[in-house]
Amino acid sequence: MTASKHIFHYKNNRLQQLRGFCYAAQFGNISHAASHMGLTHSAVSLQIKSLEEDLEVKLFKRNGPHINLTNEGRKLLQISLPIIDDIENIPNIFRKELENIKRTELHIAANSTTLNFIFPPIAKQYLATYPEIYLTIHYAEHNEAVDKIIKGEVDAALLPRREHMPFPKECEYLPMFYYTPSLITRPEHKLAGRKNLSVQEISNYELTLPAEELRVIPNLYDIFPKHNINKKLRINFINWETTRKYIEAGLVISISSDVIITKDDVLVATPLSHLFSPVDYGFIVKRGKKLPSKMLHLLDMAKTYIEQQKKLHLNN
């Protein structure tokens, strides 16, 4: 045998050689092994023959259609059978791994506000409590997030309730977080901290508001016409992360819920509960679908976080 022939078999046919050998050894018959492998008798015979040539040993004693292992054959079977079994079992192992990944991956859709101001501390506690869980957060605004839930691309979404954009019947809304409509300003602003601010007082200053399709406060755009005030906005809302910078710079004030005010914030929220209804955010899930334990754990974690914040607020 030439070196090139040995290399050829080793590089290209070793797995098939060993498969043919192991099945032939287990069945004690090459024809039965070939039938199990979906090959011809001659193909399996060639696999075994080439393996014997490569190893320079006889692996079988032939007795008509029946074959018996030689001492060398028994040793090779002892070595190679666990390997072949593992290879043959790869599809099952792979499927189980995919199922395990699916069990330990939690996919949450969140819009810009929930992504930046509500979810971070909950996610932190959740990941610390359940280290086996892998969390994937999908940035998606209202309609895209709802679409992801319906299609099963995410386990849930964290969104505000918007009266002008009701959730479809395929979705169930679980309100959890409640916020106060407020005037957002710098702390030194003349209206900061004032009680029972009038619409007229607010309209006297440069104001920016969210786009109508992004508003959370139900009657936000009705408040000025209701009081016969024609207020034209000179700076239009992009998103709260950008708008905050304009408020911080003293260019504008805005009306929002106090969800965007964080601990030790440079901005302040002056309540406008006398003008607007409360705002709520919550998890949206697919209606009728049994929630997996990983999602139930997240809901419990959110409730625990809310209780902690209430106690902290009372103590302060």
User: pTM of the full predicted structure?
Assistant: 0.66
> Distance between CA atoms of 316 and 136, rounded to whole angstroms?
34
Confidence of residue 283 (pLDDT cuts 50, 70, 90): very high
Q: HSE-up of 296 (CA within 13 Å, CB side)?
A: 6
Confidence of residue 192 (pLDDT cuts 50, 70, 90): very high
Averaged over 187-192, what is the pLDDT?
96
Helix/strand/coil for 57: coil
For residue range 139-158, list pLDDT tens digits in order: 999 999 999 999 999 999 99
Q: Domains in the chain, start-ordered, CATH in brackets? A: 3-88 (1.10.10.10), 101-176+281-315 (3.40.190.10), 181-277 (3.40.190.10)
Backbone angles phi, psi at 61, to 5 degrees: -100, 125
Tally of CB atoms within 10 A around 118: 24
**Position 11 confidence tier, pLDDT thresholds 50, 70, 90:** very low
pLDDT at 309: 83
Distance (Å, whole) CA 166 – CA 182: 23
Coil, helix or strand for 22? helix
Q: Is 18 left (phi over 0), alpha (psi -120 to 50) or beta?
A: alpha
**What does the block give as tokens for 98?**
């995919």
72 or 14, greater pLDDT:
72
* Mean pLDDT of the 118-129 span: 94
Sort 222 into a burial class: Cβ within 10 Å, 0-12 / 13-18 / 19+. exposed
Confidence bin at 310 (pLDDT 50/70/90): confident
Rounded Cα distance, 282 and 142, in Å: 12
Among the listed residues 100, 111, 174, the one whose alpha carbon sits nearest the alpha carbon of residue 134: 100
Token digits of residue 7: 């290399």
Q: What is the pLDDT of residue 229?
A: 84
The 10s digit of each residue's pLDDT in 210-220 is: 877 778 998 88
Whether 218 and 181 have beta carbons less than 8 Å apart is answered as no
Asked whether residue 7 carries a pLDDT value surpassing 80, the answer given is no
Q: What is the reported pLDDT for 100?
A: 61
Which amino acid belongs to residue 250?
A: G
Confidence grade of residue 93 (pLDDT, cut at 50, 70, 90) = confident
Gap between the Cα atoms of 257 and 113, Å rounded: 11
Mean pLDDT over 116-122 rounds to: 94
With a pLDDT cut of 90, the percent of the chain lying above it is: 52
Please write down the long-range contacts of 86-94, taking CB distance under 8 Å and 24 or more positions apart.
87/15
pLDDT one-digit tens code per residue, 174-189? 999 999 999 999 999 9
**pLDDT tens-digit series, residues 46-91:** 999 988 888 889 999 987 778 899 999 899 999 998 988 888 888 8
